[in-house]
Structure 1
Amino acid sequence: MKPQQLIPALERVVHGFCQLKGMGELSASKGLAIQFEQWEWEVGVGLYGFWRYALHQNDAALQASLLDWYEGQIAKGLPAMQINTTAPMITLALLAGHGDRADLREAVNAWADDLMANLPRTEEGGFQHVVKEQPNTGQLWDDTLFMTCLFLGTAGIVLKRQDLIDEAVYQFLLHTRYLSDPRSGLWYHGWTFLGNHHFAGAFWARGNAWITVAIPEFIDLMGEHLDAGTRRFLTQVVARQVRSLCDLQAENGMWHTVLDDPYSPQESSATAGIAYGMLRGVRLGLLDDAVVEPALRAARAVWQRIDADGIVLEASKGTMVGHDHQYYCDIAIAPVPYAQALTMLLLLELEQGQWLA
């Protein structure tokens, strides 16, 4: 893993993302047109990584490819609003803020209004983790903060709506209260108010990765729109989590699917996300320099799992909240767009932060 290899590897992973037509389904395309057909969280995370890469490269063709995908989806008609279908809206909000497109702003505003008015809530006003498969009544999931609240905060800035920013902040605080373990700082996958428990009590690796990524991203995206007290609180939350993550890292740099179960499979999308969040957090001044070495070990492990076609190997498919640890161990492995995206973000951070220099 050398500095001069970063951009070629990043380009390969971007091409890998553009080969994906569905979950685990590869096309023969070698271009940079986005092939993924579904409007769901899996591609939503991928689009965010693609956008960050296109912006860094200042590549008009890549940005046009993103716009083409969104325009095609809007022309077909967007799906019903829920937690997971909100994930692609993050990048749409960023595109709306980046260019002078009133139609995109209108789409973002309409989705935000629908979310605020119609998304089911748990007790205490939490965003119920509604997905297409089931309503998950009374449930908070750690995924929600990345999938929904990054969009809501970004939309608040783009649309100059303080109500959206305030709601995003509240959801970060409420989810921290119910999902962050006070002893370790690690995050449980889910909480239900119907029985008041954490299901399997699992510290799911990718769920924790969503937090390691989402908190620095949220703090950075919000900038001056985030008050000092909230910034300080969220900084401590992610710092405590990261300390425990470092203690649980495997010798080869990876993290296990169930973080504190060394017999559970190691998983690359979680490892990429955690490593990215660590390095990003250090560069933003949120985390201590001591986490750089574990993050770089993780980056090397992910690097070794990128194949010749740019596909990130050893990533697990979408995961519902499980009622026992075995459920997490049995999730199938497949090429998935969010592993591509989290690896894009990691490689991009290695380049921007000059971490290999």
Structure 2
Amino acid sequence: MDIQALFERTALRTLELSNTFPEGSDIPGAIRWYRWDWSIGVAFYGVMKAYEHSHNESYLMRMKEWIDARIEQKIPKICINTNALLLTLLKINEKYPDSRYESVLKTFDQYLMSEGLRTPSQALEHTVIDNNWGLQVWADTVFMSLLYMTHRGIQLSNQSMVDEAMFQLDLHNKLLFDPKEKLFYHGWDDNKRKHIGVHWGRGNAWMTAGMVEILELTGSDSALSKEISGILHQQLEKLSELQHPSGLWRTVMNSENTYLETSVTAGIAYGVLKGVRLGIVDPNYLIMGENALSALLHKVDEEGNVTGGSSGTPVKANEEAYNQIPYEITPFTQGLALLAMSEGLKLKSGRDHS
């Protein structure tokens, strides 16, 4: 299977879909493609990896045009989820510096460092555009906001921002990790002091990918980094036990009654392959990552749609509720797939030159 061709096809399809639906379209799922929110943030982060690999300037310009139009329209809400697009905006601002971009970045910086709601445990409350669940901590926050905080803190030489990102990651680990199952819960209610949701697949992928990326940026020598790495490897040990023979994982990780799902597989493949390449993850997990990547590649159709990914998933009451979330072609599954493919290409390149 030609991973390079699939990578390009998926990137082009993702960009095409981001400009398919007009603002206000009532087609199911369309809002994920036209609204400034976390979904398109994950998609564009994946496309950015395709740009960095191919140096195809059209990839960057199409994302820039999309972002420029939304800045003109005004970002709907400053919150954890709408922060995700800043991973792409940082890169665009490096190449095409613009005072408008700096203004957006500084607004989110202030939100994350001082204005963003904290729970009694001092964790960033997982805030979204449309709802307010209050005092809830979600695995999603690690990928949607803590990655940006780390990147931005390093860019600005702002150690306080990097330290806050590490503090938040450690706190999310402590609140969400289940040492018995060696998996992460989707959420934590900091008012009732209890886990909420289940050991959700994509939530665990957010954690795997997020921990690897943050450790890449901050180094792995500090006591806190080693503690985070220890949690990561406990999770990976469990993931290796739960991986289906197909290479996929389930939408509820430890429930065979739930369906196999692509986005969790893509996110874990990305984290594992990248982690092994960087020396962050034990190389014994390379086969697990490669099997996940192979399963993912078989989910890309002729148009470049990544199939078999679940739709948006807030914290649910039980595993059956998670199992009722439908499959949908989404920006975030496209983006996670592109991230995994980018690491697959680096793995292939390394072998070709060895």
TM-score, structure 1 length as denominator? 0.91
- Which of 46, 50, 56 is equivalent to 1:49? 46
In structure 2, the residue matched to 1:73 is: 70
In structure 1, the residue matched to 2:90 is: 93
Q: Deviations over 1:42-90 (max 9, x none)?
A: 1010011111111121222222222222211111111211111111112
In structure 1, the residue matched to 2:13 is: 16
Q: CA deviation at 1:250?
A: 0.8
Instruction: Indicate conservation of the 8 Å contact 2:121/2:190, yes or no.
Output: no
Cα gap change, 1:285 to 1:98, in 2 (>3 Å): farther
Q: CA deviation at 1:230?
A: 2.8
**Residues 1:212 and 2:208 are matched in the alignment:** yes
How many residues of Structure 1 are paired with residues of Structure 2 in the alignment? 343
**Residues 1:157 and 2:151 are matched in the alignment:** no
Q: CA deviation at 1:91?
A: 1.4
Task: Please list every run of at least 4 consecutive aligned residues from structure 1 whose deviation after the TM superposition is greater than 3 angstroms.
Answer: 21-26, 97-103
In structure 1, the residue matched to 2:331 is: 337
In structure 2, the residue matched to 1:126 is: 123
**Residues 1:286 and 2:276 are matched in the alignment:** no
**Residues 1:61 and 2:58 are matched in the alignment:** yes
Q: CA deviation at 1:24?
A: 5.8
Cα gap change, 1:172 to 1:42, in 2 (>3 Å): same
Q: CA deviation at 1:196?
A: 1.5
Q: Which amino acid aligns with 2:202?
A: R
Instruction: Indicate conservation of the 8 Å contact 2:311/2:325, yes or no.
Output: yes
Q: Take 2:63 and 2:128, find their aligned partners in 1: how far apart are those partners? A: 24
In structure 1, the residue matched to 2:223 is: 229
Q: Which amino acid aligns with 2:109?
A: A
**Residues 1:195 and 2:192 are matched in the alignment:** yes
In structure 2, the residue matched to 1:135 is: 132
Q: Take 2:347 and 2:294, find their aligned partners in 1: how far apart are those partners? A: 16
Q: Which amino acid aligns with 2:337?
A: T
- Which of 317, 321, 326 is equivalent to 1:323? 317
Q: Which amino acid aligns with 1:85?
A: T
| Greater CA drift, 188-197 or 328-337 | 188-197
Q: Take 1:230 and 1:65, find their aligned partners in 2: how far apart are those partners? A: 39
Q: Take 2:196 and 2:263, find their aligned partners in 1: how far apart are those partners? A: 23
| Greater CA drift, 148-157 or 327-336 | 148-157
Q: Which amino acid aligns with 1:133?
A: D
Q: CA deviation at 1:229?
A: 2.3
Q: Which amino acid aligns with 1:11?
A: E
SS of 1:117 mapped into structure 2: helix
SS of 1:82 mapped into structure 2: coil
**Residues 1:6 and 2:13 are matched in the alignment:** no
In structure 2, the residue matched to 1:240 is: 234
Q: CA deviation at 1:103?
A: 3.7
Q: Take 1:96 and 1:165, find their aligned partners in 2: how far apart are those partners? A: 20
In structure 1, the residue matched to 2:176 is: 179
Q: Take 2:160 and 2:325, find their aligned partners in 1: how far apart are those partners? A: 38
- Which of 245, 253, 270 is equivalent to 2:264? 270
Instruction: Indicate conservation of the 8 Å contact 1:105/1:159, yes or no.
Output: no
- Which of 294, 297, 303 is equivalent to 1:300? 294
Q: Deviations over 1:244-283 (max 9, x none)?
A: 0010011111101111111201100111111111111111
Q: Take 1:123 and 1:25, find their aligned partners in 2: how far apart are those partners? A: 34
Q: CA deviation at 1:114?
A: 2.5
| Greater CA drift, 328-337 or 226-235 | 226-235
The percentage of counterpart residues that share the same residue type is 29
Q: CA deviation at 1:25?
A: 5.3
Instruction: Indicate conservation of the 8 Å contact 1:184/1:240, yes or no.
Output: no
Q: Deviations over 1:214-247 (max 9, x none)?
A: 1111122x246x7622322222221111110010
Q: Which runs of 5+ in 1 are unaligned?
A: 27-34
Q: Take 1:195 and 1:124, find their aligned partners in 2: how far apart are those partners? A: 12
Q: Take 1:263 and 1:331, find their aligned partners in 2: how far apart are those partners? A: 14
Q: CA deviation at 1:118?
A: 2.1
